[in-house]
Amino acid sequence: MAVNKKMPGIIIRDVVVVPGMTVNFSVIKKEAAKACEEAMHSEQLVFVAYQKEKQKLNDISSLYPIGMLATIKQINKLPDRSVQLVLDVKSRGKLVKALNDSFTEFSVREIKEDNDLDRFEKEARLRNLRELYLEYSMLNPKVPKVFDVLSRDVEDLNVAMDRVLNNVILPYEVKVGIVQIIDIKERFDKLLKVMTDELEVTRIRANILKMTQDKVSKSQREYFLREQLNSIKKELGEDSVSEEAQFMEELNALEASDEVKEKIKKEIVRLSSLNSAGSEASVERGYIETLLELPWDKVSADNTDIKHAEEVLERDHYGLEKVKERILEFLSVRALNSKGDSPIICLVGPPGTGKTSIARSIADALGKKYVRISLGGVRDEAEIRGHRRTYVGAMPGNIVAGLKQAGVKNPLVLLDEIDKTSADHKGDVASALLEVLDSEQNSKFRDHYVGIPIDLSEVLFIATANSASDIPGPLYDRMEIIEVSSYTANEKFHIAKEFLLKKQYEKNGLKSSQISINDAALKRIIESYTKEAGVRELERKIGEICRKAARDILENGTRKVNVSAKNLEEMLGRPKYRADSKNKKDEIGIVRGLAWTPVGGTTLSVEVNIMPGKGAMELTGQMGDVMKESALAGLSFIRSVASKYKIEPSFFEEHDIHIHIPEGAVPKDGPSAGITMATAVMSAITGTPVSRNLAMTGEITLRGRVLAVGGLKEKILAAKTAGIKTVLVPLENKADIEEISEEIKDGMELIYISSMKEVLEIALS
């Protein structure tokens, strides 16, 4: 009678092992690995159990009752703390029970397989099995041949069935089901039935495959017949020009180098060998059409007439002298050296200041084709470099598509909103643009779809951005930055009068004889109804007036609508904005600062209160981290020079200081309010009022040095609008001040300061 044995267990699924096999297993569970190591030093036996499909390992019912007993031949510990086993499968075993909840140890009873067939019956079954496996192996080239599996020296029916079961391709459940049968005759009958069914399925599959191959052969035959028919038609003079011939004609007329033509010719020859109705031919056809439409060596002649260019720029834009000057310089250089590198110009400025329209005017002035590529929100690198042709729906990138649209290799390409590109798992758009904008690389720009180097060195690239700080560093380094600053009220007035009025009249179907907006009304719109760096909102307000005038003309029969400052509220409603104005009197602890915003400059009133307390400092008004640090630096400087201003050392320990910037709902940040906050604190401590006609901007250090800041044009303009006459600016910004037009500086006293000592002497005198 067989005795139950305790031995470690390995649970497998999707794989069936049978006696006579040598297999490798990885054991991940620590308990199972430990049990196998212990077995290696004793009887070296392990039980291989089969798990049922689509069942979780909850209890013993999720395992098949019959498994395999195997001997551990080798055991190796792996770096991930699992154990690699080499097992020699010996015989079947019956699972009695699991000895722990982790299913790593089992109680098993070995099964002695019967072989009580007489000699003739055994030989008959062996021959049937050999013949069936022979036919099966002939129809399945992937399985071993019959001589390798059932050689003449195999006389044991159990061994023969195990070998066949190991080599035939059957589902896991079917194989395990055969393994579970103990009786040799019943197992043989089951295996024979499964093999017979599988053989029939294999025959049907072979017939289906043959029919498919016949269809393919038929398609090839039809292709050759069609080609012969085309040849016959050509001989008879009935031939219509084939697609390949049309492509060859276009290739001969193409302006391109020999290397490019040879590449396209190869693709046309390849297309002629493809089935015209197939998907591959469709992809190839689209690729050839793209290559033939690209302007490889086709260029347009630039207009090098500097006077004409100047006239166009002056006609389309008011002001912007620096931009116009740079474009005329470029044109002059191009007239003298036509083979020089084209510059990459980046226009940086607030929204609505005319950056995009400048690019179109430059194209008109130079006589270049104009292409605009919007980069705002583009995240996929393939938008620039194109998709590889292996992808379904592949297409060239926007750069190549722009050249294709322009039809020449030297257009003006506007890269709009270059500061708003982003990156994700599909690549970094800014990095892809490096090859486009680098003059050392773009002569051999490679689009993934085109696959042939494209020369971009003659393209005039102009980029636009709202903020230079948002442009990635490597891109910024490759471009020439030109600042397009905010417009003054006078500039807005001239732009509205000379450009916007005419544009909106035409857009709304009005004539100058039907509507009139006088100068006073325009100035009132600029001052009270708009607050921006550019002129977009101003144009919208003029458009609103035109729409109301159009309705009045149609409804009431008005012959002409006259808009003045007096009746402006009837058109646009009550004013939305009021200009910042200076304080009504000199006050203690209140100092006017200057700030830059995306829509222009503004003034900030910094207020400070001193209260009895314990030396705490309170900062309110939605200040950012940089502004808070400037306030702390300013306070540290004041404490370091307190004795010079006769401030008691104990003052800062006995009083609390509260710094507040009104309009608390608006976030504020930046270092340029440093000297303003320090001056306000000193004014509050010493009780000295600060002049209401004084404003200041500058960054402060711990030692009281005043550092340079940006946005000075907008800041000084804001001070002038508020009626402030004197402005303190850092000495380091003197060069920036000199570039500001006299129109803005007229009537303003600009005092250059380099230290807080100078600031306090002026502000507290």
List the catalytic residues.
672, 715
Which two tokens mark 690?
A: 């600060």
User: Does residue 33 contact residue 27 with C-beta atoms inside 8 Å?
Assistant: yes
Continuous H helices in 512-624:
519-528, 536-556, 568-572
Q: Position 15: which residue type? A: V
CA angle 227, 233, 235 (to 5 degrees): 105
157 phi/psi in degrees, rounded to 5: -65, -40
Which two tokens mark 427?
A: 């690549």
Residue 315, CB half-sphere, CA atoms under 13 Å: how many?
Answer: 11
Continuous H helices in 99-183:
119-139, 146-149, 157-167, 172-179
List the strands of the sheet with 655-660, edge to edge.
617-620, 655-660, 600-612, 590-597, 694-696, 726-730, 749-753
User: Does residue 69 contact residue 90 with C-beta atoms inside 8 Å?
Assistant: yes
Q: Provide the β-strand partners of residue 600.
A: 597
Distance between CA atoms of 548 and 570, rounded to whole angstroms? 10
Q: Is 592 helix (H, G, I), strand (E, B) or coil?
A: strand
548 phi/psi in degrees, rounded to 5: -65, -35
Q: How far is CA 199 from CA 87, 127, 166, 205, 360, in A?
A: 32, 17, 16, 10, 74
Which two tokens mark 463?
A: 């980029």
Report residue 73 CA to chain centroid gap.
55
Please give the DSSP secondary-structure letter assigned to residue 474.
Answer: H
454 phi/psi in degrees, rounded to 5: -120, 135
Distance between CA atoms of 708 and 715, rounded to whole angstroms? 13
User: Does residue 412 contact residue 369 with C-beta atoms inside 8 Å?
Assistant: yes
Q: Position 430: which residue type? A: A
Please give the DSSP secondary-structure letter assigned to residue 497.
Answer: I
DSSP codes, 634-686: HHHHHHHTGGGGT--TTHHHHEEEEEE-S-TTS-B--STTHHHHHHHHHHHHH
Distance between CA atoms of 763 and 688, rounded to whole angstroms? 9
Residue 221, CB half-sphere, CA atoms under 13 Å: how many?
Answer: 6
User: Does residue 754 contact residue 705 with C-beta atoms inside 8 Å?
Assistant: yes
